[in-house]
């Protein structure tokens, strides 16, 4: 009986861990898409030279810096998301090599 209870606890802990990984993956993907949309809006602004030139030099520099930060952040989020999905794949595969 003790062995069955212990095995059930291990399964429950494993399922909780997998659930946390799935939640992390969802968060990382959601944040990535949100930031990618912001990057796209900035690129659209840059493509419209009249609208971009209407901004002051200080605002242009600030937008450029924000965009670079977003690009770096998205790159990190995508790397973490990829690692999270890889871990899910590894842990839930039929055979672990």
Q: Which domain holds residue 36?
A: 15-91
Q: Is residue 6 part of a domain?
A: no
How many domains would you assign to the chain? Answer: 1
Q: Is residue 10 part of a domain?
A: no
Q: Is residue 38 part of a domain?
A: yes
Q: At what angle do helices 2-47 and 57-92 cross, to 10 degrees?
A: 150
Question: What's the pLDDT tens digit per position in 34-57?
Answer: 999 999 999 999 999 899 999 999
Angstrom CA distances, 58 to 44, 45, 50, 65, stand at 19, 15, 16, 11
| pTM > 0.85 | no
The end-to-end CA distance of the chain, in Å, is 31
7: pLDDT confidence band, cut at 50, 70 and 90? low
pLDDT at 93: 82
- Residue 73 and residue 65: Cα distance in Å, rounded? 12
Question: What's the pLDDT tens digit per position in 8-36?
Answer: 678 888 889 999 999 999 999 999 999 99
């Amino acid at each position: 009986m003790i062995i069955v209870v212990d095995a059930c606890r291990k399964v429950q802990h494993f399922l909780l861990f997998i659930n946390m990984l799935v939640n992390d993956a969802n968060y990382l993907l959601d944040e990535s898409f949100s930031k990618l949309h912001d990057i796209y809006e900035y690129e659209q602004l840059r493509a419209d030279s009249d609208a971009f030139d209407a901004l002051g030099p200080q605002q242009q520099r600030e937008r450029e810096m924000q965009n670079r930060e977003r690009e770096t952040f998205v790159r990190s989020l995508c790397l973490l998301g990829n690692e999270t999905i890889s871990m899910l794949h590894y842990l839930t595969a039929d055979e672990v090599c």
